[in-house]
Structure 1
Amino acid sequence: MTQLLLLAVTAVGLLAAIPADSLKDPREVHLRNLRQLTTGGKNAEAYFSFAGDMLCFQSSPAGSACDQIFIMDTAGRRLKRISTGHGRTTCAYFLPDGRLLYATTHLADTACPPPPERTAGYVWPIYATYDIVIADTATGAILQRLTMTDGYDAEATVSPRGDRIVFTSARDGDLELYSCNLDGSDLRRLTFTPGYDGGAFFSFDGTEIVYRAHHPTGAELEEYRELLRRQLVRPNHMELFVMNADGTNIRQITRNGAANFAPFFHPDGRRIIFSSNLHDPTRRTFSLYIINKDGTGLKRITYGAAFDGFPMFSPDGKKLLFCSSRGAHRPGEFNIFIADWVDEPDTSPDNPR
C-alpha cells in the first residue's frame, strides 16, 4: 500500500500547493491568491468535502490508461488513491460522514474500457458498465454498491442537507436525472424530456438542482438516440436548467447555443457559476462564467486558458476550486487550482489585484 501511495503521489504530481498568480489573467478580478494543487497528467472534477478541508478528484496520471479517484487536502497534501486501480472511474463526491461516492466500470470488467471510436467525431463515452459505489476513504474498501441496473449510472452528487443524492442514469433508455436517499432507497425520476440531462448539483439549501441538458428534436434526436445505442453522446450543445429538488418547476437558464456545462450554485442561492465556450466562435476554448439563476447578469470570470472548467465554491463561499489547462507543459494536461473568491472586486486603476 505504501508503494502504491508513493507511485500515486509521484504520478499526480504535487505534495503541496504552488502559488500560481503568475498564471492569472489581469481580467480575472474575482480570483485572488491562485494556487496550483496538481501537476502533470489529466486531473479534473475536484470537489470539496462537507467540512471544506478535503478534496476528491479524478486523475489519469501520465502513462495511465484510465482515470482513478484520489483525495487530498486543500493545500495539495495528504494525497491518497481511493479507487481500486481497475477499470475506469469518474464523478467522485463526498458524503457528509466523509465516505466517498464514485462511478466505476471495474465491477463488470477490471480492464480499462476502450476509448470512443474516432469516426464518431468529438463524443463522450457513456459506458453501460458504470455503476455508483460508496467507498471508505480510510481504506479504499467499497462499502456499498448503489446501482445495479443495466446501463450508465454516474454523475452522482449529494445535497448539502446530507439527505439526497442526484445522479444520471440510462436505466429507462434515455439519459435522465434521478434522486435517492443516501442508501439508494426512495428512487425518484426527476426529468422526462428526450435528450441528455446530467451534471446535476444541489443548491446549498438543498431546495433546487442545477444541471445541463440537450433536448434535440427531429433528425438531431434520431442521431442522439443512435449515438446513445453505441454508448456515446455528442456534447456540442448544452444549456443550463434549474428545477426544484423534487423535479418540479423546471426553468431554462441559458439560451446561447454553446456548450455550457459544470454548473454550480453560489452559496447565496441566486447565482450559478459554470463553464462555457460561448465566447469562442470556433467553440474550442472554455472559460468560467457566472449568471443569475433567472438568466440575467451573465459575467465572464476567467480568461486566457484554453480550458477552465468544473468550478465549485467552498461551503463558506470564500474559495473557488476549478480545473484548468493554464500552465500546462504538454497538450491534454489539466490541473486543479484553488483561489480566494472576491465577490465584489475593486476594479479601480490603482488596485494592484
Structure 2
Amino acid sequence: MKKNYAFNLLLILISTVTFVAFTGNKNKQLYNPSTDTLRYEGEKHLRNIRQLTFGGNNAEAYWSFDDKQLIFQSDWSQLHNQGCDQIFIMNSDGSKLSDGKKYQLVSTGKGRTTCSYFLKDGKIIYASTHQSGEGCPKSQMFSGGRYVWPIFDSYDIYIANKDGSNPEVLIGGKGYDAEATVSPDGKYIVFTSTRSGDLELWRYEIKTGKLLQLTNTLGYDGGAFFSRDSKKIVWRASRPQGEEAEKYNELLKNGYVEPKSLNIFIADIDGKNVQQVTNLEGANWAPFFHPSGKKILFCSNHHSLAQGGRRFDIFMINIDGTGLEQITNSGIFDAFPMFSFDGKKLVWCSNRNSERKPTRDTNVFVADWIDNPQEVDINFKPVK
C-alpha cells in the first residue's frame, strides 16, 4: 500500500514538472520578433509596440490610474477641425470606447489646449485658452531667429468630468498656468506658472487648494512629474546666465521661451534638495521616473547636435547622473515617455511607422517594457 502511494506521488510530481517545463517553454515562444514591425534595432527594452493614433500631431499621452485609458492632445484633422490641439481620451489597448468610437473629445473644442492628466477620482485636468477666445491663439515658431515655444498668458488649468462635461477653472489668474500633472497618491498637482514673473514650478494641494512655489531660479522650470511614491519630482529646466539670461527675459516678456538648453533636475516634493541629473548639451526634456524611483527616462537631442539636433530619442539615466542608456532608436523623433502605473508598459509619441517612411505625423505608441532584456531583445533585428 505504501509502495503504491509513493509511486502515485512520484507520477504526480513528474507530471507537474513536465507541465511547468512545457508551459514555461510555451510562454517563452509567445513573443514573435518578426511581428514587431514598429520596433527598431537596439530598442532592447521595448516589445510588442502598438500604434494608437494615425495622423496629425498627437502628444503627451498619459495613463489613467487604472491603466485602462490614455488622455492626450491632438490636432489630427480627422478628430476635429479646430486647427490647434484639443484633448481626447482613448482606451490604452486600442479598442473602441463604449460609444463605439476610438477617441472621445473631452475639452471644449474651443481655444488651444495642452498638458492633460487624469485625477485619481477619474476626473481630468488640462490647460486651455478657450475662456479668452474660441479661436486658436496666434503664435510663431521663430523669434529673432530662434526656435521658440509660445507661453500664452491665457492658459488656465481646468478640471472636468471624465467625459469632459462641467469644465471649471481649477488653477487660474494672471499669467501662464499649464503643464499640470498629478501625484500618484492623489494629493497634489504640480504645474508651471508665470505668476511670480518667471516660469516656475508650483504645487497645488487638491484637498485644500493651498499653493507652494517650488522653484525660484531664473530659467524655464517645467514639465514636472512625481515619482511613483509621490516623494520626489522630476522636471526640465534652463539656467541661462549673462547674455543668455537677457535674451531669456526678453523672449519671456514677449510670451516665448527657447527650448534650446535644458537639463533634468529632481527634488523633494516641497522643492528642497534640488539635484541636477543630466549635464548634457542640447534639449533634455520630457522626464519621467522609472517605477523603481532610481532611474529617469527623458527625451534628448544631445547625440544629434552635430547633424543639426533634429533627432530626438528617449534615454534612461540613474538619478545620480550615471548609466546613460539610449532606449529608442528610430532615427527620427521619440518623446513624452510615461510608464503605466503597474510598471509593465510604456507610452510615448513618435514619428515612426511600420512602413518606415519619412513623415511629419507624430503618433501615440504603447509597448511592453522589458526591464531585463533577454537574448531575443538584445539581438533583435527588424524584418525588412
Alignment-derived partner of residue 49 in structure 1: 64
- Tell me which of 254, 257, 261 is aligned to 1:230: 254
Residue 27 of structure 1 pairs with residue 77 of structure 2 = no
Query: What is the deviation of 1:283?
Result: 1.1
1:134 is aligned with what amino acid? I
Alignment-derived partner of residue 318 in structure 2: 292
Local SS of the residue matching 2:250: helix
Identify which range, 55-64 or 102-111, moves more after superposition.
55-64
TM-score after normalising by structure 1: 0.91
Measure, in 1, the Cα distance between the counterparts of 2:337 and 2:256: 24
Query: What is the deviation of 1:146?
Result: 1.5
Tell me: CA distance 1:350–1:35, structure 2 relative to 1, closer, same or farther (3 Å).
closer
Tell me: CA distance 1:183–1:42, structure 2 relative to 1, closer, same or farther (3 Å).
farther
Query: What is the deviation of 1:257?
Result: 1.7
Measure, in 2, the Cα distance between the counterparts of 1:273 and 1:247: 20
Identify which range, 223-232 or 343-352, moves more after superposition.
343-352
Alignment-derived partner of residue 4 in structure 1: none
Query: What is the deviation of 1:147?
Result: 2.1
Tell me: CA distance 1:48–1:83, structure 2 relative to 1, closer, same or farther (3 Å).
same
Alignment-derived partner of residue 239 in structure 1: 263
Residue 102 of structure 1 pairs with residue 126 of structure 2 = yes
Preserved CA contact (<8 Å) 1:133 1:142: no
Measure, in 2, the Cα distance between the counterparts of 1:352 and 1:169: 44
Alignment-derived partner of residue 132 in structure 1: 157
Local SS of the residue matching 1:317: coil
Superposed, 1:264-283 pairs within 5 Å as: 264-280=288-304, 281=306, 282-283=308-309
Preserved CA contact (<8 Å) 1:146 1:183: no
Cα deviation digits, residues 239-289 of structure 1 (max 9, x gap): 000000010000000001220010000111101001100110221110010
Alignment-derived partner of residue 185 in structure 1: 209
Cα deviation digits, residues 282-322 of structure 1 (max 9, x gap): 21110010001111111000112410000000011100100
Superposed, 1:102-251 pairs within 5 Å as: 102-116=126-140, 118-120=142-144, 121-138=146-163, 140-182=164-206, 185-251=209-275
Query: What is the deviation of 1:213?
Result: 0.1
Preserved CA contact (<8 Å) 1:240 1:263: yes
Query: What is the deviation of 1:352?
Result: 5.4
Measure, in 2, the Cα distance between the counterparts of 1:205 and 1:253: 19
Ranges in structure 2 where 5+ consecutive residues have no aligned partner:
1-33, 98-102
Query: What is the deviation of 1:183?
Result: 5.3
Query: What is the deviation of 1:170?
Result: 0.3
Residue 69 of structure 1 pairs with residue 87 of structure 2 = yes
- Tell me which of 343, 348, 351 is aligned to 2:371: 343
Identify which range, 177-186 or 113-122, moves more after superposition.
113-122
Preserved CA contact (<8 Å) 1:180 1:187: yes
Alignment-derived partner of residue 15 in structure 1: none
Percent identical:
50
Alignment-derived partner of residue 351 in structure 2: 325
2:92 is aligned with what amino acid? T
Local SS of the residue matching 1:150: coil
Tell me: CA distance 1:20–1:325, structure 2 relative to 1, closer, same or farther (3 Å).
farther
Tell me: CA distance 1:81–1:205, structure 2 relative to 1, closer, same or farther (3 Å).
same
Measure, in 1, the Cα distance between the counterparts of 2:250 and 2:378: 57
Alignment-derived partner of residue 26 in structure 2: none
Query: Which one has the largest radius of gyration?
Result: 2
Tell me: CA distance 1:190–1:330, structure 2 relative to 1, closer, same or farther (3 Å).
same
Query: What is the deviation of 1:350?
Result: 9.2
Ranges in structure 1 where 5+ consecutive residues have no aligned partner:
1-18
Measure, in 1, the Cα distance between the counterparts of 2:286 and 2:222: 9
Measure, in 2, the Cα distance between the counterparts of 1:252 and 1:29: 27
Tell me: CA distance 1:211–1:22, structure 2 relative to 1, closer, same or farther (3 Å).
same
Alignment-derived partner of residue 8 in structure 2: none
Preserved CA contact (<8 Å) 2:294 2:319: yes
2:341 is aligned with what amino acid? P
Identify which range, 280-289 or 62-71, moves more after superposition.
62-71
Query: What is the deviation of 1:349?
Result: 9.3
Query: What is the deviation of 1:150?
Result: 1.0
Cα deviation digits, residues 10-43 of structure 1 (max 9, x gap): xxxxxxxxx9821211211110000000001110
Measure, in 2, the Cα distance between the counterparts of 1:122 and 1:351: 38
Preserved CA contact (<8 Å) 1:208 1:242: yes
2:68 is aligned with what amino acid? D
Preserved CA contact (<8 Å) 2:267 2:275: yes
Query: What is the deviation of 1:105?
Result: 0.2
Backbone CA RMSD of aligned residues: 1.8
Local SS of the residue matching 1:236: coil
Measure, in 2, the Cα distance between the counterparts of 1:194 and 1:331: 37
